[in-house]
Amino acid sequence: MRIIAGDRKGAKIFAPKGRSTRPTGDRVREAAFCLIGPVDGATMLDLFAGSGAMGLEALSRGATRAVFVESDRDACRVIERNLAKLELRGAEIVCADVRRALLTNAAAGRRYDLILVDPPYEEYLQMQKTLALYLPRLLKADGVVVVETDSRLEPELPLELRTSRSYGSARLTVYDGVHDGKSS
């Protein structure tokens, strides 16, 4: 795996060993960032971060702050290694359950420009209600959420659907924040 674009373009990154983590492939990551658009100066939340590939890509492309949430301790160490290897700053690794991290972020009133959601495919439906509750509260009005699921699944969130596209066995569904007239 490697970084596709930005300051660290071409740099190889580590992935957790074993089968419990499914890193987002280069092709799907590139497609995601084409759909997202520029991330210069963005604050981002990477849920189910795994190797951190998506968040690392965002930092390489100009995001200024990234919070990586991952429950697997080995994967958290891999994210740490990748951040050190790439000498990327502005990152925080939260090695905790995603539900707990969502609750903590919402309680603290944190809001993000970009939220990346890539759970194990078989767990998405179990998480959908929790994501539907918290993501609108954590996303800035002009923010973007990208959900990666199995290509056969169409996620449903109470956000404005921008697009949903399949790439092999993966589906990327992109949502825009809901503009409620409040400042973000």
Query: Once rounded to an integer, what is the mean pLDDT over residues 175-183?
Result: 68
What is the predicted pLDDT for the residue at 184? Answer: 43
What is the predicted pLDDT for the residue at 17? Answer: 76
pLDDT for residue 121 is more than 70:
yes
What is the predicted pLDDT for the residue at 22? Answer: 56
Handedness of CA 66, 135, 23, 28 (dihedral sign): negative
Parse the chain into domains and list their residue ranges. Answer: 40-176
Q: How far lies 129's CA from each of 118, 157, 177, in Å?
A: 15, 8, 17
Architecture of the domain made up of 40-176? 3-Layer(aba) Sandwich (3.40)
Q: What's the pLDDT tens digit per position in 124-168?
A: 999 999 999 999 999 999 999 999 999 999 999 999 999 999 999
What is the predicted pLDDT for the residue at 183? Answer: 43
Residues contacting 62, CB < 8 A, separation 6+: 6, 7, 38, 39, 40, 41, 42
Phi, psi at 142, each rounded to 5°: -100, 20
pLDDT for residue 117 is more than 60:
yes
Q: What's the pLDDT tens digit per position in 52-64?
A: 999 999 999 999 9
What is the predicted pLDDT for the residue at 153? Answer: 95
Give 54-57's long-range contacts (Cβ < 8 A, gap of 24+): 54/24, 54/29, 54/116, 54/118, 54/146, 55/79, 55/91, 55/116, 56/3, 56/8, 56/13, 56/82, 56/83, 56/86, 56/88, 57/3, 57/4, 57/5, 57/6, 57/29, 57/33
Q: Name which of 155, 162, 164 is nearest 178 in CA terms.
A: 162
pLDDT bracket for residue 14 (50, 70, 90): confident
CB 145 within 8 A of CB 112: no
pLDDT for residue 113 is more than 50:
yes
Q: What's the pLDDT tens digit per position in 17-60?
A: 755 555 666 788 889 999 999 999 999 999 999 999 999 999 99
pLDDT for residue 96 is more than 60:
yes
Angle at 38 between CA 96 and CA 28, to 5 degrees: 60
